[in-house]
Amino acid sequence: MTQRVRMGMVGGGPGAFIGEVHRLAADIAGGIELVSGAFSRDAEASRAFGAELGLSPARACGSWAELFEAERALPEDERMQCVSIVTPNDSHADISCAALAAGFHVICDKPAAGVLEDALRMQQAVTDSGRLFGLTHTYTGYPMVIEARERIAAGELGEIRRVAVSYLQDWLSREEDTQGSKQASWRNDPARAGESGAFADIGSHAFNLVEFMTGRRVARLAAQLRSVIDGRVIDDDGGALFELDNGAAGMISASQVCTGAINALRIEIYGSEASLHWFQEEPNRMSLKRRGEPEQVLRPGAGVPYLSEPALAVCRTPGGHPEGYIEAFANLYQAFAADVRAFPAAPAQPRGYATIEDGVAAMRFIRAARLSSEADSAWTALDGVENAAR
């Protein structure tokens, strides 16, 4: 029988958005048991919520510091092995570093941190502790996204020439949207969201998808970030030209004020031989197009004969039975839990989830975009951007 991985959680309390998705995903992944947590900054609310989830009172803690101390005191075969961090961006670094130093593996939501320096601190903590760190860039858990990576790596598209990626939403498109919404209010507060708004919140996903699918690095960019809605103190809309390390060109946009867009993450990758097209709101189809030939539509499904092994490995249902967001999240949890189970053996390659290096890369992208925008869209390199004046 598969040994169950004992997991704790920080954040994801009453009324939170993504914590519940993480718990569902861990359930679907299987072989993971939520044993403890600190779910809110309010100690009483945190304990009460832990009780609602069925945790024993001793393991429903009032704060993350209390959680790590209580778990450390338990025998090794009882204490949590990893902790899921689903708090707002500004607290990811302190909580992750403390968890890693206490010997726990960490799976944390994106962006890695509020500011680049904190992400670099987390990277150091991962190295120093030797523990596992996973970042939940949800979209890399979709079978079609993995299939794209495999086909591009195998050269099916030829030399990559251009990438067009956009992540557009409208849930912050009105002035009143930041009032009375827990999720919206911290996202509009630089002290909690960090150095960017929409570009960090969803632009980081789009950036990660480009690097994941193409297998290339974004080398430099020229960005324009804007606060469109009155009263916004952080970007709610932005775009950038970028260049990949093979010289390919790209355009990225990330906006939360695009009326009519719900969760419109779309990517198109053009090579010398063919192009791939994927739209997150219809995740179970991906188009492959070649000049002068009819469009080919690729779909996921267990046993579908034209899919690569890595894509097949994350298909949960037979062909024609749609899989979606929670399953994609579950694929990240499944891969992370397998690495935790195997620890201290080296993690499986390629990793089935984003790493702290991916998180730092996204934070460099965010910093470069902000600096570029402040310098009237000047081209800005990502490498070493932490050394540029802020």
Ligand X SMILES: NC(=O)c1ccc[n+]([C@@H]2O[C@H](COP(=O)([O-])OP(=O)(O)OC[C@H]3O[C@@H](n4cnc5c(N)ncnc54)[C@H](O)[C@@H]3O)[C@@H](O)[C@H]2O)c1
| Alpha-carbon distances of 349 from 212, 355, 384, rounded to whole Å | 14, 12, 27
DSSP annotation of 333 = H
CB of residue 110 vs ligand X: minimum separation in angstroms? 5
225 binds ligand X (CB under 6 A): no
ω into 111 cis (within 30 of 0): yes
CB of residue 139 vs ligand X: minimum separation in angstroms? 8
10 binds ligand X (CB under 6 A): yes
Closer of 20 and 128 to ligand X (Cβ): 20
**Binds ligand X by CB under 6 A, chosen from 183, 224, 227, 377:** 183
Binding marks (x or -) toward ligand X, 345..384, rule CB under 6 A?
Answer: ----------------------------------------
| Alpha-carbon distances of 346 from 81, 341, 349, rounded to whole Å | 16, 11, 9
- Report the distance separating Cα 10 and Cα 19, nearest Å: 9
Closer of 134 and 143 to ligand X (Cβ): 134
Half-sphere exposure of 341 (CA within 13 A, CB side): 16
Binders of ligand X among residues 89 to 128 (CB under 6 A) are 89, 91, 109-110
Half-sphere exposure of 135 (CA within 13 A, CB side): 25
Binding marks (x or -) toward ligand X, 201..220, rule CB under 6 A?
Answer: x-------------------
Identify any residues that bridge with 33 across adjacent strands, giving them in sequence order.
6
User: In sequence order, what DSSP letters do the residues of 155-208 get, joined into one string?
Assistant: TTT-SEEEEEEEEE--TT-SGGGGSS-HHHHHHT-HHHH-S-SHHHHTHHHHHH
**Binds ligand X by CB under 6 A, chosen from 5, 6, 8, 12:** 12
Binding marks (x or -) toward ligand X, 31..70, rule CB under 6 A?
Answer: -------xxxx----------------------x------
87 binds ligand X (CB under 6 A): yes
Q: Are 206 and 352 in contact (CB under 8 A)?
A: no
169 binds ligand X (CB under 6 A): no
194 binds ligand X (CB under 6 A): no
**Binds ligand X by CB under 6 A, chosen from 7, 25, 80, 86:** 86
- Those residues with Cβ within 8 angstroms of residue 270's Cβ, 6 or more apart along the chain or in another chain: 157, 160, 161, 162, 163, 164
Tokens found for residue 11: 């954040």
CB of residue 24 vs ligand X: minimum separation in angstroms? 13
Q: Summarize as ranges the residues that interact with ligand X (CB under 6 A).
A: 10-13, 16-19, 38-41, 64, 86-89, 91, 109-110, 136, 138, 182-183, 186, 201
